[in-house]
Structure 1
């Protein structure tokens, strides 16, 4: 039997959750709380397996309550319930220790699935939340990739492209109509700017950042 505490400042919502879970033989609603402080008081007095925790509540919000509960009872599972699913909010909740994140408009099947999933030690996120998380990951990947691209002059790019194509210093000088000394200067500047050790490092950087064409 999974002992569940429902925490929300709207009684109508608590009653709605109860109606969704009342006939489930594996889930027992053992209490309710209307603010974060009541949540922390309840778990200190009674054994709880999982909390369905509202994000926005008076006195103490869900985020603060979760931090306190997780610090004292790290194995207690917490599923955050909210009307919102902004990427920043999701990331904050995950860092704070949320085991799941479900929107309040979820249905009975998804809610039960969320409870059963986190009780197995896994994380659960509603479809909308998962999409937000993936969008955030993709955005960070793009940002990291862009951060790798150092500002190079057009001439430095020309030299780098020819280095990738395995041209010698003399050949590069002839193709760009510059002296071999100038080519060597550009090569040294590239190594310094891109923080690599040798020509192999220059080639790797060029390939990773699309500067080989």
Structure 2
């Protein structure tokens, strides 16, 4: 038996056209259209579908978070697909944390939508290619920023950082490096500022994540 789909989005012409296309392709048994949350609630209570597509034209992003969370708690078996207006990487991540199973940009074609359905049918998650590119760019820029932060540390600051990671107090560090305790504290403050962390625990975490210590 083929699954059912609910499309929650606006405008009507867009949803009706997509509904007709999906019905003719025989991927779904029934495709229902909802243009407001009241109608959506009625459909979900009467006959929950296997798939639910939420469009960004129908609801603001902040409200989308709340709606997804509510839907996941009330209908655990529904696989939610969000069609977004080129959401930022952090927004997409938050949607997945709330419980969606697929994210597509609004410009994605029919074939990519079909690929997402196939992935979800196999209990996988799916992110469209354009969103993946944004994620790769984000990670790349983040790595460059982290390398820049590391490179900004002076040789002495790097020495102090490694001793902090070894668990040495400021007194022990000044004795080991033959510098005053005031100089050690100055290095500590600069390290915290350059790495954008709040305390020694943050320094150790940063150093481990960036392979600065063995």
TM-score (norm 2): 0.66
Query: Pick from 128, 131, 138: which aligns with 2:133?
Result: 131
Contact 1:4 1:29 survives alignment (8 Å): yes
- Counterpart CA distance in 2 for 1:80 and 1:159 is 48
SS at the partner of 2:24?
coil
Residue equivalent to 2:14: 13
Alignment coverage as a number of residue pairs = 183
Q: CA RMSD in A?
A: 4.0
Q: Which residue of 2 aligns with 1:185?
A: 178
Matched, 1:52 2:45: no
Q: CA separation in 1, counterparts of 2:143 and 2:77?
A: 32
Bigger Rg, structure 1 or 2: 1
Distance in 1 separating the partners of 2:178 and 2:122: 60
* 2:4 aligned counterpart, secondary structure: strand
Note the residue ranges of structure 1 that are not aligned, 5 or more in a row: 164-180
For structure 2, which runs of at least 5 residues remain unmatched after alignment?
164-173, 192-199
In the alignment, the residues of structure 2 paired with residue 22 and residue 129 of structure 1 have an alpha-carbon distance, to the nearest angstrom, of 27
**Counterpart for residue 37 of structure 2:** 36
Q: Classify the secondary structure of the residue corresponding to 2:10.
A: coil
Aligned pair 1:121/2:123, yes or no? yes
CA distance in 1, matches of 2:10, 2:160: 65
TM-score computed with the length of structure 1 as normaliser: 0.66
The 3 A distance-change label for structure 1 pair 153 and 185 is farther
What's the counterpart of residue 101 of structure 2? 99
Distance 1:111 1:159, change over 3 A: closer
